[in-house]
Amino acid sequence: MTPGVIKVVIIGAYLLLLLLLGLFASRLSRGTSKDFLLASHSIGPFLLLMSLFGTTMTGFALVGSTGEAFAEGVGVYGMLASSSGIVHSLCFFLLGIRLYSWGKKYGYTTQVGFFRDRLDSDKIGIVLFPILVGLVVPYLLVGVISAGKAMEGGTRGDFPGLSESGGLPAWLTELVICSVVLVYVFFGGMRGTAWANTFQTIVFMVLGVVTFSLIANRLAENAIEQGRVQDENGVVRTEPPAGFLDALTIVSGEIPKARRVRDEVTEADQIPTVEAPPQFNTRERLDPWMFLTYMLIPFSVGMFPHLFQHWLTARSAASFKLAVVCHPVFIMIVWVPCVLIGVWATTGLINLPPPFLNMPSENANKILGFMVQSLSSGVLGGFLLAGILAAIMSSLDSQFLCLGTMFTKDIVVHYGGEDRFSDKQVVMISRGFIIAIVVATYLLSLTEIAQTRVFQLGIWCFSGFSSLFPLVFLAIYWRGLTKWGAYAGVLTAAGVWAWLFKLSEFGAIDNWSVNFTLGGREIHTMPVASIFLASLAATVIVSLVTPKPSASTLEKFFPNE
């Protein structure tokens, strides 16, 4: 068998396992809508930890972290990962357990249901629903397109004629991924999703570490073959790496060298395979204000509809404890190796083909697949690609399920009437919507705009969700929040978001920032900071001057105050 066929067989077997898991989960279903949508509040600490982690770590955790480190340097860990470790757990702690508690008590399934009740306003759903759906769809597309790009990069040259690069065409991977996720979500519902997430999270964590070890060893061998490694006496070393730690030391020793070369060599004098292109300098020159304001992005977790639904699956509030504590550590386990792999790619220890050197930002997300393809055998390459797909699918499933749930509960059941549909019909309607959303997502992923712009859109999506964080936080902790304050906050967030998005030429300008002059110096901030602050101010100010919710509503949510 050729390496390409070996990879396809391994990935096919992995996808089959997932299908079986989803079908098995469906056999344990109680047949109710509560079981299909919320796993009957039965998910214990371990499954909750793994499903929350798997859901928040999209394909970006493996593919994107490596790509961003390749394009921007090791600083991306602080910008994206360690901040998430603090903020995600903060959201689980401050929001997740409260919303779980109220959700279980009052029977919520979606965020819109909660806000309608908390704000005494049916129409808040009309404002929130399209915004939430509009923000989830590009996020879904990021996952689907990441899968296509990772497989294309990881099978590069294995299937000549099938695509321009000789890899599996992206449309085919995207079709298969969407179909597999559809089947296990359709049959397994939330229980199947939680199990599949757990299985996939274990797979991508284990295979991530295996990838790391393998790539370290192979690059260390390359460094020795190229005569780059010297012993303490300055003698060129010829013996192979003596273990994993030795390999790490050899390869990472090239990072500061590469950086010094970048600082000293002009662009015109660069040798492409040895010195990184000028874009690699951006991390060192990143405005500290961008770094500071980037910390608002992880607050998006507080308003992800799919996480809300996962929170409601918990067996008890205590089930959250393991997730709150372990989430930052798990982020570290996945991200540190990926970031190192990304910066190792800039050291010249592996020859990068022209697309990576001419357009590193555009091709950054293919770098992990390319390194796996170049440095591993067919068997290991197949397992590693399966790990990447696992990370991607463990987010896609929850997003598909949550959109199906929102259309069913917030629109059809809410406006059709609770009594109009039997429980079985609610399950069938949810399944119908899930099929429609998967098909729509797949078709959207084939469009030119999605293929070229979706990653830029991703960060704008996260900014949108983050800007709604003040709404959910105040809904839980402030009696004074009014429906008019909520409308003002949501509409302000949407308006400022749209305005800034337009100024950024609809995401076309990379690393677009909102600039201010402070003390005679121009500072650059992430757009999310302006949107977040505007939304917070509008929510608070309008709430202060408009009538409070009814006494019964306040008593319901704040009984002891």
Partner 1 sequence: MKSAVWGLVLLLVVLHHDLWFWNDDRLVFGFLPITLAYHAGISLAAGITWFLAIQFAWPPGLDGETIAEAADPGDPEPQEGGAA
Residues that bind partner 1 (CB under 8 A): 30, 32-34, 38, 40, 74-75, 77-78, 81-83, 85-86, 89-90, 93, 97-98, 100-101, 104-109, 113, 116-117, 245, 248-249, 251-253, 255-256, 259-260, 284, 288, 291-292, 295, 316-318, 321, 324-329, 331-332, 336, 339-340, 343, 418, 423
- Nearest distance from residue 316's CB to partner 1, in Å? 5
Tokens 């874009």, located at residue: 279
List the Cα angle 99/101/102 in 5-degree steps.
Answer: 65
Residue 44 or 166: the one with the smaller Cβ distance to partner 1 is 44
Residue 82 or 270: the one with the smaller Cβ distance to partner 1 is 82
- Nearest distance from residue 521's CB to partner 1, in Å? 15
Quote the CA–CA distance of 383 and 203 in Å, as a whole number. Answer: 9
- Nearest distance from residue 37's CB to partner 1, in Å? 8
- Nearest distance from residue 307's CB to partner 1, in Å? 17
Can you say whether residue 525 is alpha, beta or left, with left for phi > 0 and alpha for psi between -120 and 50 degrees?
beta
Residue 7 or 262: the one with the smaller Cβ distance to partner 1 is 262
Q: Which amino acid is present at 153? A: G
Residue 185 or 312: the one with the smaller Cβ distance to partner 1 is 312
The set of residues, in sequence order, having a beta carbon less than 8 Å from that of 473 and lying 6+ positions away, is: 94, 95, 302
- Nearest distance from residue 431's CB to partner 1, in Å? 17
8 Å CB contact between 277 and 258: no
- Nearest distance from residue 79's CB to partner 1, in Å? 9
Core vs surface per residue 347-384: b (16+ CB within 10 A) or e: bbbbebeeebbeebbebbbbbbbbbbbbbbebebbbbb
- Nearest distance from residue 320's CB to partner 1, in Å? 8
Residue 262 or 366: the one with the smaller Cβ distance to partner 1 is 262
Quote the CA–CA distance of 55 and 395 in Å, as a whole number. Answer: 4
* C-alpha dihedral (219, 220, 222, 227), degrees to nearest 10: 150
Residue 34 or 149: the one with the smaller Cβ distance to partner 1 is 34
Helix (H) or strand (E) holding 524: strand 521-525
Task: Pick the closest to residue 72 from 286, 323, 348 (CA basis).
Answer: 286
Residue 263 or 448: the one with the smaller Cβ distance to partner 1 is 263
Quote the CA–CA distance of 202 and 216 in Å, as a whole number. Answer: 21
Residue 247 or 434: the one with the smaller Cβ distance to partner 1 is 247
- Nearest distance from residue 377's CB to partner 1, in Å? 25
Residue 337 or 458: the one with the smaller Cβ distance to partner 1 is 337
Cα 34–chain centre separation: 26
- Nearest distance from residue 464's CB to partner 1, in Å? 22
Residue 316 or 546: the one with the smaller Cβ distance to partner 1 is 316
Neighbours of 69 (CB within 10 A): 28
- Nearest distance from residue 277's CB to partner 1, in Å? 18
- Nearest distance from residue 40's CB to partner 1, in Å? 7
The SS3 call for residue 481 is coil
8 Å CB contact between 48 and 322: yes
Q: Calculate the alpha carbon distances from 39 to 150, 313, 334, 414, 500 in Å.
A: 32, 6, 28, 21, 40
List the Cα angle 114/117/118 in 5-degree steps.
Answer: 80
Residue 82 or 511: the one with the smaller Cβ distance to partner 1 is 82
Neighbours of 31 (CB within 10 A): 10
- Nearest distance from residue 200's CB to partner 1, in Å? 22
Core vs surface per residue 467-496: b (16+ CB within 10 A) or e: bbbbbbbbbbeeeebbbbbbbbbbebbbeb
Residue 134 or 256: the one with the smaller Cβ distance to partner 1 is 256
